[in-house]
A and B are shown apart, each in its own frame.
Chain A
Amino acid sequence: MIAALILAISLLTLLQFFVSYCHSVIAASRRLELSEQAREISGITSRTVRGDQFKRLVQLLALCPEPGGDSTQVRALSAYFNMLGLVRMALSWAAPSALQWIETERGGCAYVAAVALDRRIKYSRMLMAQQAGH
C-alpha cells in the first residue's frame, strides 16, 4: 500500500520535475539566435521553428560530430516531444483548445534541437579548419 502510494506520488513529481527541466532548457535556448548557416542547412526561414521540423533536426544532429555534453539533453527533449505527441493524440478530440499550446511546446523542442545543430555545425567547421591547417 505504502509502496503504491510512493510510486504514484513519485510518478507525478517525476512528470512535473521533468517537464519543468525541459522548460528550463527550452527557455535558456530561446535566448540564443540561430546563425544563418544553421538556418540555411536546416531549411528554417522564419524566426520561430515549427514542431514538425523537430525530427528532421534530430536526424541532422545525428550526422554531425558531437562537441560533448548535449546528447542526453537532446534525448530528454525527444522524450518530452514524444510525450507531447501522445498528449496531442489524446486531447485532439477532448480539448482542441490545448492543441495550440502543445504545438508551441513542440516548436520550443525544435528550437533547442536547432540550437544544438548550430553548435555542432560550428564544431564541425572548426574541426575541418584544424585538419586543413595541419
Chain B
Amino acid sequence: MLGPVDYLIWITIFLVELFCLVILLKRRAFTQHFTIVLYLLASLATSAGRYLVLAATGFTSNAYAYCYYYSDAVLTIFLFFVVMSFYSHVFSEMGVSKMVRGGAMLLLGGTALISYHMVASSSDRLITRFANELSQNLYFVGVVLTYLLWGAMMKLRENRTRLMQLVLALGVYFSAFAGTYALKNMYPSSFIWQYFQLIAIWLPVSWAYSFIKVPEEARMATARVLAPNQ
C-alpha cells in the first residue's frame, strides 16, 4: 500500500516533468530537441498509466510489478533516443551521425539479447528480480553511451553550453539509476528502494534549468568545465 509520501513523490515528479515540457515548448526548442519532448510525453503517459494500473490492481499485484518495470525499460529506451539525438548534434558537422546511431542501435539490440538470454536461462527466478537486472543493464548501457559522448565532446572541443549541461545532467541521471539498481540487486529487501524514485526529479529539473537559464547561443570552452577557474 502506498502512503502519502509515495503519492507526494509521484505527483512531484509528474509536475516537474510537465513543467519541463512546458518550458521546452515555450522556448520553441521542441523541433531541435524532439526526442526530449518525446521522452517527457512518454514519461507523463507512463506515470498516468501506472496510476491507473495501481488503482485497478493494487501495489502488491503482479500486474503492477510488470507494468512498473517494463514501462521503466521502455522509458530508458526513449532516453537512448535522446542520447542518440545528442550524438547527432555533436557529430552533425562530421557527417558520421548515421554510423553513430547505427552503433548505438547495435548496442541497444545487444543489451536486449543479453537480457533475453538471462530470462531464458533462468525462468525460475522472480520476475521482479529479472526486471531489476534488465533495468540495471539498460541504465548501465546508458552510462557507457553518455560517457563516450562526453569523451567525444571533450575531444572535439564542443563549446555549446546548453548541450554540455543537457548531456552532463543525463550522465548524472543514468549513473545514479544504474548505481541504485545495482545496489538494489545486492540488497533487495531494504525498504528504502521505494523512495529512490526521487532521483527521477533530477533530469527534468536540470533540463528545465538549462533551457531557462542558458541561451541557445551561449558558448563555453570545454577546458572551463574541466577546470572552471582557468
A contacts, CB < 8 Å to B: 3-4, 6-7, 9-11, 13-14, 16-18, 20-21, 23-28, 30, 68-70, 72-73, 76, 104-105, 108
Of all chain A residues, the one with the shortest Cβ separation from B164 is A24
Whether A25 lies near B178 (C-beta < 8 A) is no
Chain B residues whose C-beta falls within 8 Å of the C-beta of A7 in the assembled complex: 179, 182-183, 186
Whether A21 lies near B206 (C-beta < 8 A) is yes
Picked from A17, A24, A104, A105, the residue with its CB within 8 Å of the CB of B161 is: A24
Whether A21 lies near B183 (C-beta < 8 A) is no
B198, chain A: closest CB distance, angstroms:
12
B contacts, CB < 8 Å to A: 136, 139-140, 143, 146-147, 150, 161, 164-165, 168-169, 171-172, 175-176, 178-179, 181-183, 185-186, 201-202, 205-206, 208-209, 212-214, 218, 220, 224-229
Picked from B140, B147, B206, B212, the residue with its CB within 8 Å of the CB of A6 is: B140
Bound-complex Cα distance A111 to B181 (A): 35
Chain A residues whose C-beta falls within 8 Å of the C-beta of B220 in the assembled complex: 24, 27-28
Chain B residues whose C-beta falls within 8 Å of the C-beta of A18 in the assembled complex: 172
**Dominant SS among interface residues on chain A:** helix
Whether A17 lies near B175 (C-beta < 8 A) is yes
Bound-complex Cα distance A64 to B169 (A): 27
A to B CB contacts below 8 Å, 6 in the list: A3-B185, A3-B186, A11-B179, A27-B225, A69-B208, A70-B209
Whether B161 lies near A6 (C-beta < 8 A) is no
Whether A10 lies near B214 (C-beta < 8 A) is no
Picked from A10, A72, A105, A108, the residue with its CB within 8 Å of the CB of B179 is: A10
Bound-complex Cα distance A16 to B161 (A): 17
Chain B residues whose C-beta falls within 8 Å of the C-beta of A25 in the assembled complex: 165
A15, chain B: closest CB distance, angstroms:
8
Whether A28 lies near B179 (C-beta < 8 A) is no
Whether B172 lies near A108 (C-beta < 8 A) is no
Whether B172 lies near A3 (C-beta < 8 A) is no
Bound-complex Cα distance A14 to B139 (A): 12
Whether A13 lies near B147 (C-beta < 8 A) is yes
Chain B residues whose C-beta falls within 8 Å of the C-beta of A6 in the assembled complex: 136, 140, 178-179, 181-182
Whether A21 lies near B147 (C-beta < 8 A) is no
Bound-complex Cα distance A25 to B209 (A): 10
Q: With A7-B182, A7-B186 in contact, do A73 and B172 touch (Cβ < 8 Å)?
A: no
Chain A residues whose C-beta falls within 8 Å of the C-beta of B146 in the assembled complex: 17
Whether B213 lies near A70 (C-beta < 8 A) is yes
Picked from A9, A13, A26, A69, the residue with its CB within 8 Å of the CB of B212 is: A69
Whether B206 lies near A14 (C-beta < 8 A) is no
Of all chain A residues, the one with the shortest Cβ separation from B223 is A27
